[in-house]
């Protein structure tokens, strides 16, 4: 004869096993999801940092080309395509110090977005930029200027700076006076 407790346990056992398996699966999925979310953030940050390093290297190479071409106002370089073969020609407007300020479009105001797209290959990353004048202190530090339209044209301590953000998380600055690319902390 069966005991009532054994019958109830054997009938509930498949449901209990299913609930335990479901609970284990949910715990593994949540733990794995958190881990992979962190991995995706790290990969995105690393990709953004690599793109900024590529941008900085391209700025330096463009400055070298400016010197080799005799310090002209316009520097022409030939790009490469995905296969590494010669691609389109790029024409850059340079400032008096030999740093690129724009891809030729007729203006002398820096175009940070055009420079970003011309000087590096990371097309998947989101990019936003603001160009602004900042005051350069004697030690090289930058700060927002106290704006005066009369003084702005004559003030040699005001310089153009591209303040950029890549992949909605990595902030960096391109200084057009020194060609320096600085990741902001």
- Provide CB contacts within 8 A for 70, sequence distance 6+: none
The pLDDT confidence band at residue 148, using thresholds 50, 70 and 90, is low
Q: How many angstroms separate the CA atoms of 123 and 79, rounded?
A: 15
- At 47-96, the pLDDT tens digits run 889 999 999 999 999 999 999 999 999 998 877 667 777 777 888 999 89
Angle at 163 between CA 141 and CA 72, to 5 degrees: 85
pLDDT computed for residue 63 by the predictor: 94
pLDDT of residue 180: 92
Which pLDDT score, from 0 to 100, does residue 53 have?
92
Which whole number is the average pLDDT over 113-117? 88
* Residue 19: burial class (beta carbons within 10 Å; 0-12, 13-18, 19+): exposed
Q: What percent of the chain has pLDDT over 70?
A: 79
Helix locations, the chain, DSSP H: 4-68, 112-119, 149-152
Are 93 and 100 in contact by the 8 Å Cβ rule? The answer is yes
When comparing pLDDT for 13 and 146, which is higher? 13
pLDDT number for residue 99: 93
Cα 52 to Cα 166: distance, rounded to the nearest angstrom: 8
Q: Is the pLDDT of residue 183 over 60?
A: yes
Angle, CA of 73, 79 and 82, to the nearest 5°: 160
> How far is the C-alpha of 5 from the C-alpha of 21, rounded, in Å?
23
């Amino acid at each position: 004869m069966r005991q009532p407790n054994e019958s109830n346990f054997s009938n509930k056992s498949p449901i209990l096993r299913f609930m335990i398996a479901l609970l284990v699966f949910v715990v593994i999925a949540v733990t794995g999801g958190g881990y992979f979310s962190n991995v995706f953030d790290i990969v995105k940050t690393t990709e953004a940092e690599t793109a900024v390093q590529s941008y900085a290297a391209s700025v330096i190479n463009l400055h070298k080309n400016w010197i080799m071409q005799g310090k002209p106002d316009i520097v022409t370089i030939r790009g490469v395509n995905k296969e590494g073969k010669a691609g389109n020609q790029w024409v850059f407007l340079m400032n008096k110090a030999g740093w690129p300020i724009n891809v030729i479009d007729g203006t002398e105001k820096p175009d940070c977005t055009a420079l970003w797209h011309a000087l590096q290959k990371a097309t998947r990353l989101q990019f936003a930029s603001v160009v602004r004048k900042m005051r350069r202190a004697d030690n090289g530090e930058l700060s927002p200027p106290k704006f005066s339209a009369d003084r702005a044209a004559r003030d040699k301590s005001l310089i153009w700076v591209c303040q950029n953000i890549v992949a909605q998380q990595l902030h960096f600055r391109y200084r057009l006076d020194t060609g320096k690319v600085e990741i902001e902390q």
